[in-house]
Amino acid sequence: MIQDYIEKDILRRVKLVQFLFDLHTLNVIEVSRKLGVTSNTIKTDYKKIRITLSSFILTHNYTASEVTIIFKDNISRYELVKKIYADSKFLNVCARYIHGDYDYLSIVEEEFVSVTSAFSIKKQVERYFQEILGNNWSDLTHLDEIKYRFLILSVYMRSDCLSEKFNNQILKKAEFLSKKVLAKFFNKALERDFVFFKYAVYLALTRQKKNNLIISNSEEEFICSGIIFTHIQEVFEEAATLTDIPCLEKNELIFLCVIYRTLSYNPPSYVFLEADYKYQKERLLRNFKSIDILLDLIEKEFCLHLRGNILFELPFFNFIYYSIWKLNYFLFERSIYLSESQLSVKNRLVTVLDTWKVYCEGAAPDFTSQNIENFCSRISSIIIPEDTTNPIPLLIVAEDTYAHINYREKLKQWLSSETVSIDDRLYYKLEDIPSYLITRPHIIICDRSLWIKRESSGNGLLFSISSSTILEDIRHIVLTIYEKRW
């Protein structure tokens, strides 16, 4: 995996930038512990980030306890991260190797490093290429083409040092085709996802005659039977008819289908998202039977029923898809600041995945640490139990049963049972409420006709309500309760 080879300080700053992009302010002690470094190292990283990204920063501050950076509007996380990666000598040398430049003396001259450093970086790059492509990695005529393209994409996505090597005419065609494919699926892709797919199309157009893509029969059957293959094929066939863009062979289209499925699906309507989730779920469960066993193990570990829950299953099936194709080794994934409870979920999930490997048909998928962390962050809202031990009691005072039903049922539509507990007793005047309830934290909803204007006690809050203005009253009540302004 490329993250195992990129310089540690570069990777750490990449994570810090993403943490700050999401949270703006970080506790220095906490973030240093998460990254396994000292507070002084975080301070050094902060200074380097501030210099590198100075033109993108709105405000910044560093104290003994906190570090703050707020970036300017309309700056993407991906744009910031690429600026940090630009300082990576390892990525720059990877780019040289991709284009056949193995001369470490030119590395010394152009990367401004010593001969010793250049030789060390060169060896790191060769170890990475050997890990991904095997011992004969330098023989460009007998490569595993899919792995080589993934390697190229992992460098392309992090470094602009290859940009001068692009064939701009073909790159424009790749951009045109990428937009057509995304439009076909109504996908409003993020900048990072669009660039990733555009580069994949570029490789398909420029390398399709150099090395054949080797696709197994089972993989071909799975991909070609899907709607994604059909739609992408339609786009390229239409482009070949109307323009000078060559029509791609089946294996090239399969490659692009694999890449497209890794993108985040950002449709204009939730209906599209639900339909895609159900479609992907049905195909994966039908073709990979051991996924059912993993679902059983996760439900057992966390004592939860998770099947059929889109909050869990959508990230789960994407997580599985990346791992089956080993795409998690190459994908440019965001780094997320996990809480202690989320880290606990990660540790338990790692144990479950190790257990599951015994039940997998064929080779077990490989899961990277970052891949697992991203999955945990997406499912933590349903995996981690909320503190529901003390919901606030809500007491309704109304002049008759019709008003009680009206207020109660309308409030139930908008208020979570974990936040408040609506008292089953019916009160017809404020004086009916027992004094012991008033001395505890509480909320009273009182019919305006029965309202006695008074200040709320230190433990509660009073609202007035009327059938004539029920929508406006409930809107005010709900907003106040969820903002906890009592």
For the chain, domain boundaries: 2-85, 144-262, 270-383, 392-483
Q: What percent of the chain has pLDDT over 90?
A: 38
Distance CA 470, CA 414 (A): 13
**CATH code for the structural domain at 2-85:** 1.10.10
Other C-beta atoms closer than 10 Å to the C-beta of 422 total 18
Pairing, β 442-447 against β 25-27: unpaired
CATH architecture assigned to 392-483 = 3-Layer(aba) Sandwich (3.40)
Of 146, 196, 205, whose CA–CA distance to 174 is shortest?
205
The closest alpha carbon to 10, from 66, 75, 89, 69, belongs to 89
pLDDT of residue 162: 67
Out of 226-235, 265-274, 454-463, the most confident range is: 226-235
Measured distance CA(261)–CA(386) in Å, rounded: 33
Tell which wins on pLDDT, 23 or 388: 23
**How far, in Å, CA of 123 to CA of 93, rounded?**
10
Report whether pLDDT(142) > 80.
no
Predicted local distance difference test score (pLDDT) of residue 175: 94
**N-term to C-term CA, the chain:** 51
| Cβ proximity of 285 and 292 under 8 Å | yes
Place of tokens 């996990």: 338
pLDDT of residue 328: 65
Q: Is the pLDDT of residue 389 over 60?
A: no
- Exposure string for 237-258, b = 16+ CB within 10 A, e = fewer: eebeeeeebeebeebbbbbbbb
The reported pLDDT for the residue numbered 381 is 81
pTM: 0.76
Q: Calculate mean pLDDT across residues 384-412.
A: 82
Q: What are phi and psi of 197, to 5 degrees?
A: -70, -40
pLDDT for 349 beyond 80: yes
Q: Which two three-digit tokens encode residue 393?
A: 């009691």
The SS3 assignment for 442 reads strand
User: pLDDT by residue (tens digit) across 201-239?
Assistant: 999 999 887 777 888 888 888 889 989 999 999 999 999
Mean pLDDT of the chain: 87
Q: How far apart are alpha carbons 465 and 285 in whole angstroms?
A: 51
Q: Which residue has the higher pLDDT, 106 or 294?
A: 294
pLDDT at 461: 84
Model confidence pLDDT, tens digit, residues 410-419: 888 888 776 7
Q: What pLDDT was estimated at residue 454?
A: 56
Asked whether the CA dihedral 407, 408, 409, 413 is positive or negative, the reply is: positive
pLDDT value at 194 more than 70: yes
Which of 216, 209, 201, 96 is CA-nearest to residue 159? 96
- Provide the pLDDT for residue 211: 72
The more confident residue out of 157 and 212 is 157
Pairing status of strand 392-397 against strand 66-71:
unpaired
Cβ burial 347-361 (10 Å sphere, 16+ → b, else e): eebeeebeebeeebe
Asked if residue 146 has pLDDT above 80, the reply is yes
385, exposed or middle or buried, with CB in 10 Å at 0-12, 13-18, 19+?
A: exposed
Lowest mean pLDDT among 77-91, 247-261, 274-288, 444-458: 444-458
Answer for the pair 49, 67: CB distance below 8 angstroms, yes or no.
no
User: What pLDDT sits at residue 99?
Assistant: 83
pLDDT digits (tens, 9 = 90+) for 80-126: 999 999 999 999 999 888 888 887 777 777 777 888 888 888 889 99
